[in-house]
């Protein structure tokens, strides 16, 4: 049986582990609508954590809706009940990880204000917005000029109706609002709201100063794009030249095919191959122009008696000689 000192040491060790792991578990009551309890599964060796809750004096019950991250539980959503303490118990198996009791409003984080309106006064600007439906809130207004990096904050005010003085009316200003729950009213675990969307005072130009420097980045990007395009065109030309061999132009070998016939090959070939010229017709009535063609096959051929006996030269004609006779007898 362990000694009392050992038991106390074990209890203190368990409490210390619960206290250390409590920083990993976050409880947020969003605008008094619901309570979100979240944790990081990586901080617990990839183990699934379970959550039990109740509004005292009800019995504990399991989480109605878990958040999941990579298949592991990473949080739970609980309803809000006013006036009754909420008890939250988070465990890893049977080992306690987080335990907390308190009103849900003790973890309040209000929603950001909206509908921010600006009103110009003589030497100041009045900033107003509809108040949130919660008591114990303070509102902080921040403003800065276009191009500035630092915000100028006003003092906390109990309502969203704050007058900001000492501003330049001709300047272009932006404003935002945030609500802070008072720790004296809710406790130390409350959180401020997110900032409202920025609202501009448009008395000035409200244009960011133009950059007059040389746009080196744009020029460099343009040159890189141009060089890339040229290299791509060269590569495409080489591919086309390798895949598609050069085909000669038919205009060089077919004169007139395209100039006069528009590529009609049949018309072009019909004109090029013209019929042979007809032989000259000799008038038989003119004795002086009659030619007698004598073809000697072997020893000769007797003359036609109808034509008479022409006066032939002393030497007989040879094969395939043409002999022209000056005249014929009547």
- The number of CA neighbours under 13 Å toward the Cβ of 103 is 12
Please tell me the predicted confidence (pLDDT) of residue 43: 83
Please report the domains of the chain, with CATH numbers, ordered by start residue: 4-108 (2.60.40.10), 111-201 (2.60.40.10), 276-330 (no CATH)
Please tell me the total number of residues recorded for the chain in this structure: 330
- The number of CA neighbours under 13 Å toward the Cβ of 71 is 2
Please tell me the predicted confidence (pLDDT) of residue 290: 45
The dihedrals phi and psi of 271, each to the nearest 5 degrees, come to: -75, -35
Q: Consecutive 10-residue runs of the chain (330 residues): their mean pLDDT?
A: 43 39 78 91 83 92 89 90 90 90 92 91 88 92 87 92 84 90 91 92 56 62 88 82 65 65 70 58 51 46 49 50 48
Are the CB atoms for 190 and 156 separated by under 8 Å?
Answer: no
pTM exceeds 0.85: no
Query: Pairing mode, if any, of strands 108-109 and 26-30?
Result: parallel
Tokens 């022209």, located at residue: 324
Residue 128: CB atoms within 10 A of its CB come to: 18
How many angstroms separate the CA atoms of 132 and 55, rounded?
26
Are the CB atoms for 292 and 324 separated by under 8 Å?
Answer: yes
Tokens 């107003």, located at residue: 128
Please tell me the predicted confidence (pLDDT) of residue 69: 85
DSSP 194: P
Closest by Cα among 125, 207, 203, 127 to 162: 127
Please tell me the predicted confidence (pLDDT) of residue 108: 94
């Amino acid at each position: 049986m362990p000694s009392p000192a050992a038991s106390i040491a074990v209890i203190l060790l368990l409490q210390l582990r619960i206290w250390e792991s409590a920083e990993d578990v976050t409880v947020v009551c969003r605008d008094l609508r619901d309570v979100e309890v979240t944790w990081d599964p990586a901080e617990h060796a990839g183990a699934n954590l379970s959550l039990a809750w109740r509004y005292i004096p009800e019995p504990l019950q399991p989480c109605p809706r878990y958040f999941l991250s990579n298949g592991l539980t990473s949080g739970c959503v609980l309803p809000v009940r006013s006036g009754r303490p909420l008890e939250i118990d988070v465990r890893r198996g049977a080992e306690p990880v987080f335990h907390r009791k308190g009103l849900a409003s003790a973890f309040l984080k209000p929603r950001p204000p909206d509908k921010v309106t600006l009103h110009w006064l003589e030497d100041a600007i009045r900033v107003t917005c509809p108040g949130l439906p919660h008591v114990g809130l303070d509102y902080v207004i921040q403003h800065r000029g276009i191009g500035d990096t630092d915000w100028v904050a006003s003092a906390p005010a109990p309502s969203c109706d704050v007058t900001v003085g000492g501003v330049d009316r001709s300047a272009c200003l932006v404003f935002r609002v945030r609500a802070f729950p008072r720790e004296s009213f809710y406790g130390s675990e409350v959180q401020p709201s997110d900032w409202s969307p920025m609202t501009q005072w448009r008395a000035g130009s409200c244009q960011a100063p133009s950059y007059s420097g040389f746009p080196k980045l744009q020029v460099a990007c343009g040159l890189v794009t141009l060089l890339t395009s040229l290299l791509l065109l060269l590569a495409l030309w080489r591919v086309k030249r390798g895949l598609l061999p050069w085909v000669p132009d038919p205009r060089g070998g077919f004169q007139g095919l395209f100039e006069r016939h528009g590529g009609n090959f049949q018309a072009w070939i019909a004109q090029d191959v013209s019929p042979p010229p007809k032989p000259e017709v000799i008038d038989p009535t003119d004795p002086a122009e009659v030619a007698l063609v004598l073809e000697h096959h072997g020893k000769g051929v007797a003359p036609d008696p109808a034509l008479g006996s022409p006066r032939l030269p002393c030497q007989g004609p040879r094969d395939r000689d043409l002999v022209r006779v000056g005249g014929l007898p009547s």
